[in-house]
Amino acid sequence: MKRCSFFALASVFLLSVLCVCSPSQAANTIKVGIVDTYTGPATTFTNDVLDGFKLAVQKINASGGVLGKKIEFTTRDEKFKPDIGLAMAKELVCRGVR
């Protein structure tokens, strides 16, 4: 439970920092992503975090986005394995997702 809470808070912090600090990859969008566990023992907690991110992105985009740019949100499943999580994070970064 503590691990999930820590990662949820870290993810929210990371999303808020990246929305403000990262340069846009496309002219009208800011690409942000999250790597978390969506299969396995922690899904009860992480699916709620995912729903929260989706709701936040929806509300931010509905109110005009960030600095006039819409947020494009993507996610990857790490399957509760750190090595897969690292690979998924690298993939998102290579695709210009912050």
CATH number at residue 34: 3.40.50.2300
% of residues, the chain, pLDDT over 70: 73
More confident residue, 27 or 13: 27
**Tokens 């809470």 identify what position?**
5
| CB 82, CB 70: distance < 8 Å | no
Mean pLDDT for the stretch of residues 71-92: 93
Q: What is the mean pLDDT of the chain?
A: 81
Please tell me the distance from the alpha carbon of residue 81 to that of residue 40, in angstroms, as a whole number.
10
Per-residue pLDDT at 48 = 87
- The parent domain of residue 37 ranges over 2-94
| CB 47, CB 4: distance < 8 Å | no
Q: Which residues make beta-bridge pairs with 36?
A: 77
Please tell me the distance from the alpha carbon of residue 58 to that of residue 86, in angstroms, as a whole number.
27
Q: Which residues make beta-bridge pairs with 7?
A: none
Per-residue pLDDT at 11 = 54
Indicate the number of domains in the chain: 1
More confident residue, 17 or 89: 89
- H-type helices in the chain, by residue range? 2-21, 43-62, 82-94
Instruction: Specify the pTM.
Output: 0.65
Mean pLDDT for the stretch of residues 67-92: 93
